[in-house]
A and B are shown apart, each in its own frame.
Chain A
């Protein structure tokens, strides 16, 4: 029977490949055997601890089993687990990723005292009344009427933007930066881009300058504006 845990060297360091078809008990036995033999080999040559990536292939280990792996490593003072990776994720995680990556079309009235929290980007067609909050983890494209508080990059992502005319809003927030619009009386139009600049201050630009404002975002959408 081949070993259920095999050591491999990669350009990033050491990786332990765990056989996805092997019995879990065999994996632990095999891991212990591997670490024991490594311990004797490296005792003299490596003064500092070595950290390993553990790769589990097409098998998703439960959080409980993963902590067991980490516990096993904890028995060896010279070794530690850097991370446990696999080629598969849970449906929940994949749904979350989908949610983060998609643009949600929101067409509703967010009234005084209501808070709408959304993961991912939002195309906003509805209304935010005074005292309402639209809190979005991604970017917000506003075509609707915002008179309350609007926040992109909730809770602290400063690379997000609000695009559109929100001059009626009480506050605009991106990540942890905010502005009370009553103080600044900003002029805006449907092409206004609100973003956080290099000095970590809220700044205003125009969609035509999106390429300079946020090159990463511009590449993501394919750079279709201005060819």
Chain B
């Protein structure tokens, strides 16, 4: 029997969808059976990040309204042999097309067949958010070190206290720029964790490759050397119950004079 996690943040653009795709992929790489559920109805993106957008035949609203069976709507990721599936959001309607009972019913139907069900929550705290938490057993809150994102995360933690799930929420701090955190221009990991009073699940460094890989429809966790990918792989292992030490923040190595000169020659 699988467990359902909702990935939420309150604020938009902090990396809910990217985190969903990457954690899902990382869990599939560990051999777990994962179903990703996109609940951002009307503005779906998870399919694009996974590179599955051209394979969609039916969506979650089709399933909820009985136009399609659940098995028909699930899109299989061919890169992972039978381990990673996506239930896409509908694109031609809005959040009000679903209600909490329907989402819960779908999640309950998925649970026996999967180890993990990751629910990608839309931004905001309206009906889309309520739908997303309705089926979940636990929440993963994504924030960035920006004050505005932390404020919104705080609001979401408060809402989750009002509608408690089976397990306490856990926190991912995303898009960390090491030098800014080092020189104190943004809140650091301990400050954010302490402020929100939520257990830390992991940190993910900001990296250009996150954007380039997402544009190509291949999650960054598939790159073995990438630090952001490493962050997501660590998170997946922690979800599996392993204790993995938190990644250390390093000072970014500044290029030496000679490196700059050779770089300059390479350019021309």
Instruction: Answer yes or no: A114 CB below 8 A from chain B CBs.
Output: yes
Residue of chain B at shortest CB distance from A130: B53
* B40: min CB distance to chain A, Å: 12
Known: A113-B42, A113-B91, A114-B92. A180 touches B53 (CB 8 A): no
Instruction: Give Cα distance in the complex from A181 to B42, angstroms.
Output: 24
- Kindly identify which residue among B48, B53, B57, B92 contacts A178, using a CB–CB cutoff of 8 Å: B57
CB pairs A–B below 8 angstroms (5 shown): A113-B91, A131-B91, A178-B57, A180-B54, A180-B55
- Residues in A lying within 8 Å of B, measured CB to CB: 112-115, 130-131, 133, 170-171, 178, 180-182
Instruction: Give Cα distance in the complex from A178 to B72, angstroms.
Output: 14
Instruction: Give Cα distance in the complex from A115 to B57, angstroms.
Output: 14
How big is chain B's contact interface, by range? Answer: under 10
| B53 and A131 contacting across the interface, CB-CB below 8 Å | yes
| B53 and A170 contacting across the interface, CB-CB below 8 Å | yes
* A109: min CB distance to chain B, Å: 16
Instruction: Give Cα distance in the complex from A171 to B54, angstroms.
Output: 6
A181: chain B residues within 8 A (beta carbon): 54
* A128: min CB distance to chain B, Å: 13
Closest 10 CB pairs of A and B: A170-B54, A113-B91, A182-B54, A115-B92, A113-B92, A180-B54, A180-B55, A131-B91, A171-B54, A113-B42
- Residues in B lying within 8 Å of A, measured CB to CB: 42, 48, 53-55, 57, 91-92
Residue of chain B at shortest CB distance from A182: B54
B54: chain A residues within 8 A (beta carbon): 170-171, 180-182
Residue of chain A at shortest CB distance from B94: A113
* B75: min CB distance to chain A, Å: 10
A178: chain B residues within 8 A (beta carbon): 57
Known: A113-B92, A131-B91, A133-B92. 4 other contacts (CB 8 A): A112-B91, A115-B92, A170-B54, A180-B55
Instruction: Give Cα distance in the complex from A113 to B53, angstroms.
Output: 12
B53: chain A residues within 8 A (beta carbon): 130-131, 170
A182: chain B residues within 8 A (beta carbon): 54-55
Instruction: Give Cα distance in the complex from A113 to B56, angstroms.
Output: 13
A112: chain B residues within 8 A (beta carbon): 91
Residue of chain A at shortest CB distance from B41: A113
Instruction: Give Cα distance in the complex from A131 to B47, angstroms.
Output: 11
Instruction: Give Cα distance in the complex from A130 to B48, angstroms.
Output: 10
Residue of chain A at shortest CB distance from B57: A178
Residue of chain A at shortest CB distance from B43: A113
Instruction: Give Cα distance in the complex from A178 to B91, angstroms.
Output: 19
* B202: min CB distance to chain A, Å: 31
Instruction: Give Cα distance in the complex from A130 to B53, angstroms.
Output: 9
Instruction: Give Cα distance in the complex from A113 to B92, angstroms.
Output: 5
Instruction: Give Cα distance in the complex from A115 to B90, angstroms.
Output: 12
A180: chain B residues within 8 A (beta carbon): 54-55
